[in-house]
Amino acid sequence: SPAILRVGPERTLKAPSDAARMARAGDTVEIDAGLYLNDYAEWTQPDLTIRGMGGMVHLQSTELIPNSKAIWIVSGDNTVIENVEFSGARVADGNGAGIRHQGGNLSLRNTFFHHNEFSVLTGADTNASLDVQSSRFWFQKRPNTFSHGIYVGALKRFTLMGSHIKGTDRGHQIKSRALENYIFYNRIEDLPEGNASRLVDLSNCGLSFIIGNDMHQALTTQNGDAIGYGAEGCEGRSKRERSLFVINNTFVNEAWNGTL
């Protein structure tokens, strides 16, 4: 039967990586709030719920990540992660992430990604999805090149709701190649003197809804476009997957040549 695994400095399982090795399909992992330094894990089991208890669980990396991918690699299907913070992710090739999404459906709720090379990097499984609610993506940066605030591959569906993205270095605040995109009621902004590119870049089209967002493009942006759609081509996408709806958003674009 599904079990509850409890993790914390005063418990038998001291670190999230201990629970990742022991968990079975359907388990719930409850992690005591606090800092877990340089602890890396791969979650392979399906139907897991992983949540911080009593506050945020902070997974901080201060070194090159040994698995060369991410603080957490999520390979299972139907994974839910709640109340977890990721910072400092970096690897030798510059593609370090707080989470590398390699599985099926992944849901993030009240998560916080900051000062990583990438926050979340996904694969290109057209049967998989990424659903993000009430989360923050701040100050992703890579040395000597651009980053993206959140980078979604060619998944079946990407949803971002009630979240805050800011301070991305030179790349797009949101970049997605998903077949369907639902971007609802977020704050997406470049800070004063910020150097991010587009606020939203839907590189290969996709059936996309951008609704009710508060969007701010800085004067010093790397790209005058607030939204890019199909900029890298829409080959192989159906007529339905070449539809964009931009509804009831607030745009402030301070770029001297700013456009939608």
Residue 136, pLDDT above cutoff 70? yes
> What percent of the chain lies above the pLDDT cut of 90?
96
Residue 165, pLDDT above cutoff 70? yes
Per-residue pLDDT band at 255 (split at 50, 70, 90): confident
Over range 166-189, report the average pLDDT.
98
Q: Look at residue 258 in the predicted model and tell me its pLDDT.
A: 78
Per-residue pLDDT band at 55 (split at 50, 70, 90): very high
Over range 14-40, report the average pLDDT.
98
Look up residue 175 and give its two tokens: 């970049």
Q: Look at residue 146 in the predicted model and tell me its pLDDT.
A: 96
| Residues 25, 3: Cα–Cα separation, whole Å | 9
Amino acid letter, 220:
T
Residue 259, pLDDT above cutoff 80? no
Q: Look at residue 256 in the predicted model and tell me its pLDDT.
A: 81
Over range 230-254, report the average pLDDT.
96
pTM: 0.97
Instruction: State the average pLDDT for the chain.
Output: 97
**Residue with token string 């059936």:** 207
Q: Look at residue 148 in the predicted model and tell me its pLDDT.
A: 97
3-state secondary structure string across 88-139: CCCCCCCCCEEEEECCCEEEEECCEEECCCEEEEECCCCCCEEEEECCEEEC
Q: Look at residue 260 in the predicted model and tell me its pLDDT.
A: 65
Instruction: Report pLDDT digits (tens) over 18-27.
Output: 999 999 999 9
Residue 98, pLDDT above cutoff 80? yes
Over range 233-246, report the average pLDDT.
97
Over range 201-221, report the average pLDDT.
97
Over range 124-149, report the average pLDDT.
97
H or E element, residue 22: helix 16-22
Per-residue pLDDT band at 141 (split at 50, 70, 90): very high
CB neighbours of 77 closer than 8 A, spacing ≥ 6?
46, 47, 103, 104, 105
| Residues 118, 170: Cα–Cα separation, whole Å | 12
| Residues 108, 131: Cα–Cα separation, whole Å | 6
Q: Look at residue 94 in the predicted model and tell me its pLDDT.
A: 97
Q: Look at residue 10 in the predicted model and tell me its pLDDT.
A: 97
Q: Look at residue 97 in the predicted model and tell me its pLDDT.
A: 98
Over range 214-238, report the average pLDDT.
95
